[in-house]
Structure 1
Amino acid sequence: VDPLAGKRFIFDATPDFASQVGELLTHPAGTALPRASVPLQEYLHGIFLTHGHMGHYTGLIHIGREGASANRLPLYVSPSMAAYLSDNEPWAFLVRNHHVQLVVLQPEIRLVLTDSLSLTPFIVDHRQEFTDTLGFLIHGPERTLMFVPDADVWGGWKVPFEQLLDRSDAALLDGSFFSYEELGHRRQGDVPHPPVQASIDLLSAREGNPEIWFTHLNNTNPLWDPDSHENVVVSDAGFGIARRGQTFEL
């Protein structure tokens, strides 16, 4: 939310997209809250997608003709995500009928959204069944927030993970699993994510970290319980767990 410009943006369209929009509207953006009949694009000014996995883009189904019936709502995506949406139904219907306006992002090219808000996309190493994966550096007037909800590993990126941390004041990082013990019958290779415990070990060994907040918790993750031992481990390491409704001022 940019209150100076009166603009609101969403990062990733989850299956619970309606709740995302509803919660976004609880944060004032310098404009009056919309009436029920106001078009979506008048109070939501863009959606940024990280990648083509279920929890990150399927909420787009709500903005077509049978839902909000948006008109040319800016949808910021990577080139491979743009191709995927354009070539596969029902997403192609949204593009073809101008419910969304695809804006193709180029990695490491800074995009200015308002006078006080810009972002820099970058490529993240994450499994690519349908598309590649983007992370974002979100730049405000005073601070930069790094957003990486999904990754396979923290190493081997085109732009090194450590360099991106050094360019950030706070970071929202993949915290899907606290440990691989949560996977049960599933193989680690089927759902590769850096376990939070391993991320803590990696980050604790370096100096000059930004604020670290883990997000994107799987339902098996004990970090959902604020009284769990695992929460104490994260807190004792000097890191945090992002909670619903939390605000980061940039």
Structure 2
Amino acid sequence: MLLQVLGTAAGGGVPQWNCACPGCSGARAHPDRRRRHASLAVRADDDHWYLINATPDIADQIESTPALHPGPAARRTPVAGIALTDAELDHTLGIARLREADRIEVLATGPVQAALRDRAHLDDVLTPYVRLEWRELDSTPVPLSEGSDVEISAIPLSTKRPRYAVRETGGDQGSGKRSGEHLAVADHRDNDPWVVAIRLHDRRTGGTLLYAPALAAWPEAFQEALAGADVVLLDGTFWDDDEPRRSGFSTRTAHGMGHLPIDGPDGTAVRLAPLAARCLYTHLNNTNPLVDPAAPQHKQLAELGLAVAAEGMEIDL
């Protein structure tokens, strides 16, 4: 199983277009610090690749990855489909960017499909351009594509909905977001899995990767999956719980915004350190000190055997 890290940033990327925080200013001054929205590509077989989440940077991510380039015939692309961890805009806007394709296969949970099809009207918008083919993603492992040795499955993480799937009633969620009363999206209940981790397992080599760019909770099923993983790419949005408030863009903590922080007595770093798996952080917010390669927090992670995923890195399992 071969994987490519296409991006490692949280919403807005680094730099974020309307921000002059130290992380964004540093990335403008040092282009090598720029980070695209978090995404991953996995090779299903010799001819087909799937993208894990479809970000606003999807076209640039494909162009920066030679294995995803079209050829030899015109418009013959190795990009066969997309698997989604949630319905957030930062992970789904790229679907529309692929409208030049003949068809796009989209793997997603029931609530995520309902949000995109019933609330965002993605089928209605894209049908004049491209055929969307939806596949259910759940806890049952299935071949990523027909005949592929790579299996994909989902591990439920939280019930956090995207903003467009809730009714706003006031209150801050950071970055201008509000808390809201849940709206009915199709017939899905509030406790259905809106956010999942994706597990990729190669039946031929035995290699297993766990991808969880958004982590609001640490359920037992997730802990069990971690124990069987060789590589883990995990939510590294915020370094500590108070970072959003300290940075001045929210009145909420990292927990309040739906992300477990890296540092602290209950942070993800101390949970990951005992694992045998190679653990890498992704989905870094522009305010996270880890966006600066010289930040002392990198040494702190290294002492625990942890690191930050690099843009464009290749993982072979």
TM over 0.5: yes
Q: Deviations over 1:24-75 (max 9, x none)?
A: 4x137xxx84269415xx42111011111121111112123xxx2x223111
Asked whether the equivalents of residues 94 and 100 of structure 1 are also in contact (C-alpha less than 8 Å), the reply is: no
Q: Give the match's secondary structure for 1:160.
A: helix
Instruction: Find the aligned partners of 2:135 and 2:236 in 1 and give their Cα distance.
Output: 28
Quote the residue 2:211 is aligned against. Answer: 147
Of residues 46, 59, 67, the one that matches 1:27 is 67
Q: Deviations over 1:172-218 (max 9, x none)?
A: 000001113320342125412111111112233x4x43111110000
Q: Give the match's secondary structure for 2:316.
A: coil
Q: Give the match's secondary structure for 2:302.
A: helix
Superposition deviation, residue 6 in structure 1: 1.7
Quote the residue 1:199 is aligned against. Answer: 268
Instruction: Find the aligned partners of 2:118 and 2:148 in 1 and give their Cα distance.
Output: 34
Q: Which amino acid aligns with 1:120?
A: S
Q: Which amino acid aligns with 1:213?
A: L
Instruction: Find the aligned partners of 2:132 and 2:156 in 1 and give their Cα distance.
Output: 23
Quote the residue 2:122 is aligned against. Answer: 91
Matched, 1:138 2:200: yes
Q: Which amino acid aligns with 1:124?
A: L
Alignment of 1:1-250 (within 5 A): 1-2=42-43, 4-24=45-65, 26-27=66-67, 33-34=70-71, 37-38=74-75, 42-64=77-99, 68=100, 70-94=101-125, 96-97=127-128, 98-105=130-137, 107-113=138-144, 114-125=147-158, 127-129=160-162, 130=165, 132-140=194-202, 141-142=204-205, 143-154=207-218, 157=219, 159-184=220-245, 185=248, 186=250, 187-188=252-253, 190-197=256-263, 198-204=267-273, 206=274, 208-250=275-317
The total of aligned residue pairs comes to 234
Q: Name the stretch that deviates more: 226-235 or 175-184.
A: 175-184
Please tell me the root mean square deviation across aligned C-alpha atoms, in Å: 2.3
User: Normalised by the size of structure 1, how large is the TM-score?
Assistant: 0.84
Superposition deviation, residue 84 in structure 1: 1.5
Percent of aligned positions with the same letter in both sequences?
A: 23
User: Normalised by the size of structure 2, how large is the TM-score?
Assistant: 0.68
Superposition deviation, residue 15 in structure 1: 0.9
Ranges in structure 1 where 5+ consecutive residues have no aligned partner: none
Asked whether the equivalents of residues 126 and 150 of structure 1 are also in contact (C-alpha less than 8 Å), the reply is: no
Instruction: Find the aligned partners of 2:295 and 2:120 in 1 and give their Cα distance.
Output: 43
Residue 33 to residue 54, structure 1, CA distance change in 2 (3 Å): closer
Instruction: Find the aligned partners of 1:223 and 1:22 in 2 and give their Cα distance.
Output: 26
Residue 219 to residue 147, structure 1, CA distance change in 2 (3 Å): same
Instruction: Find the aligned partners of 2:45 and 2:135 in 1 and give their Cα distance.
Output: 23
Superposition deviation, residue 227 in structure 1: 1.3
